């Protein structure tokens, strides 16, 4: 049985939904009427109001246009609070708490690092400790959050996980030889998991240079959701045009991927070089 996580009433996302509902009702508008102006479905508007769906920037901007910043409420500012990144970022908690626990298929691409779901604690700790203004408490919190995410692989019915990463990742030093050996051992261990598929991508793959991303397929006919990364701010969206574009890019990258058998051999060879 799926347990829906409790929502923090003080969170910007909950306030976004509450203000949206309050102003809609004050304007005597139905959810369907607001949905048509946002370019959303009535169900999506309902989820925004219940804070079970994360709004997009365009949602916020259109709501500000619709309600005219009534009573000083700025949905754009609330959206910015939702996507702010202090230590353990809000947008990332939303992905980890709302998307990953329910997804049935996850596809990911990373041109620079081992994907987070497959990272060892030492590998993740070294990455976070190198972040600007990193603090010991902040690093500890982010490492623990990353390790918790990996529990989805231990579910009774785990999701199908398809991972692509650039071949150079196997040779990029993160934390030294011991950390790298442990990390590549972890990759080989996870590669034996019946629902995990790992493929190394040829470094000549130019479509992958645009940056890392994840594609989540959700149950019960819900629209797919993507998370695309960037240094300043990541984007999480179910916008059909964006999701379609990312899915097409994933397929363009996958063409350059080595078969699983060869990928495992490449990981094994790289592991022996880290001495």
Question: Where are the chain's structural domains?
Answer: 12-82, 90-273
Read off the pLDDT band of 9 (50, 70, 90).
Answer: low
Read off the pLDDT band of 240 (50, 70, 90).
Answer: confident
pTM above 0.85, yes or no: no
Top-level class of domain 12-82: mainly alpha
**Backbone dihedral region for residue 261 (phi beyond 0: left; psi -120 to 50: alpha; all else: beta):** alpha
Residue, of 92 and 65, whose pLDDT is higher: 65
* pLDDT value at 172 more than 60: yes
Rg (CA), the chain: 20
| Token pair 């990353």: residue | 146
* pLDDT, mean of residues 182-197: 96
* pLDDT, mean of residues 91-97: 66
E strand segments, 104-171: 105-110, 160-166
pLDDT of residue 30: 94
Q: 199 CB contacts (<8 Å, ≥6 apart)?
A: 162, 163, 164, 254, 257, 258, 259, 260, 263
Read off the pLDDT band of 57 (50, 70, 90).
Answer: confident
Question: How is domain 90-273 classified at the architecture level of CATH?
Answer: 2-Layer Sandwich (3.30)
Read off the pLDDT band of 100 (50, 70, 90).
Answer: confident
Please state, in angstroms and rounded to a whole number, the distance separating the CA atoms of residues 39 and 41.
Answer: 7
Read off the pLDDT band of 187 (50, 70, 90).
Answer: very high
Residue, of 58 and 93, whose pLDDT is higher: 58
Q: Which two tokens stand for residue 253?
A: 């990258």
Q: CA neighbours within 13 Å on the CB side: how many for 47?
A: 14
* pLDDT value at 90 more than 60: no
pLDDT of residue 156: 87
pLDDT of residue 258: 98
């Amino acid at each position: 049985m799926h347990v829906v996580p409790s929502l923090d009433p003080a969170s910007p996302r909950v306030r976004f939904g509450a203000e949206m509902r309050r102003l809609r009702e004050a304007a005597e508008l139905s959810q369907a009427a607001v949905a048509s102006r946002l370019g959303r479905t009535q169900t999506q508007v309902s989820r925004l109001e219940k804070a079970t769906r994360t709004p997009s920037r365009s949602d916020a901007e259109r709501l500000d246009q619709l309600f005219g910043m009534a009573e000083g409420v700025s949905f754009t500012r609330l959206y910015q609070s939702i996507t702010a990144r202090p230590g353990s970022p809000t947008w990332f908690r939303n992905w980890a708490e709302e998307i990953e626990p329910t997804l049935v298929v996850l596809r990911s691409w990373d041109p620079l690092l081992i994907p987070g779901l497959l990272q060892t604690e030492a590998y993740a700790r070294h990455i976070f400790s190198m972040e600007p203004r990193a603090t010991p408490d902040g690093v500890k919190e982010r490492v623990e959050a990353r390790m918790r995410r990996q529990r989805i692989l231990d579910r009774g019915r785990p999701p199908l996980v398809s991972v692509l990463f650039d071949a150079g990742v196997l040779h990029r030093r993160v934390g030294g030889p011991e950390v790298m050996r442990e990390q590549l051992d972890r990759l080989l261990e996870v590669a034996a998991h019946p629902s995990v598929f790992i493929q190394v991508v040829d470094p000549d793959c130019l479509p992958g240079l645009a940056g890392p991303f994840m594609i989540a397929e959700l149950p019960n006919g819900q629209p797919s959701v993507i998370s695309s990364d960037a240094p300043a701010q990541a984007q999480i969206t179910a916008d059909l045009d964006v999701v379609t574009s990312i899915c097409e890019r994933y397929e363009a990258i996958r063409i350059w991927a080595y078969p699983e058998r060869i990928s495992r051999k490449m990981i094994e060879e790289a592991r022996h070089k880290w001495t």
